[in-house]
Amino acid sequence: MVDHEPEIVMGRPQKLEEQRSEAINQPAQLLRIGAMLRELLEEVRRASPDEAGRKRLREIYEHALSVLKAGLSEELQQELDAFTAPLAATASESEIRIAQAQLLGWLEGLFQGIQAALWAQQMEARAQLDGMRRGLPPGPPGMMERPGQYL
């Protein structure tokens, strides 16, 4: 039987580079903006905003977009631009609802993507740890045979 040294697995350069290009600089800020937009959308659904209210909602929407873009990588900024369109100065209530729902949906998809990536990283780390454990030599004889508590 030939002894093999444990294999040291380093991160995959391509995968790491892809993760860096899809980086999110401030995830907490994205969560706050998502929560704010969700509340705004609910408020628009409950009450019909007048002209001044629609103007203010449009301003909030545009400001939220600019803040979001500042916290995203260039690739995610381009994706966000592809799915959002600027609201007209006289945007109707339904246009505002649709724009906010679209932005909120995009953010929720982004959050789900982050969760999936974190889960995949956790599973990969667990597999690497299990591989390293399998490569360790067994403990001293008799260690597993001792009954009793571990104190």
Which tokens hold the place of 144? 């597993």
β-bridge mates for residue 79, sequence order: none
For tokens 């009793």, the residue is 148
Residue 11's nearest CA partner among 106, 133, 86, 120 is 120
pLDDT for 14 = 45
Which one of 2-6, 84-88, 124-128 scores highest in mean pLDDT? 124-128
pLDDT for 150 = 65
Taking CA atoms, 63 is separated from 8, 24, 56, 94, 109, in Å, by: 47, 18, 10, 19, 20
Percent of the chain with pLDDT over 70: 75
pLDDT for 113 = 83
pLDDT tens per residue across span 92-114: 888 888 888 888 888 888 888 88
Evaluate if residue 141 carries a pLDDT over 70. Answer: no
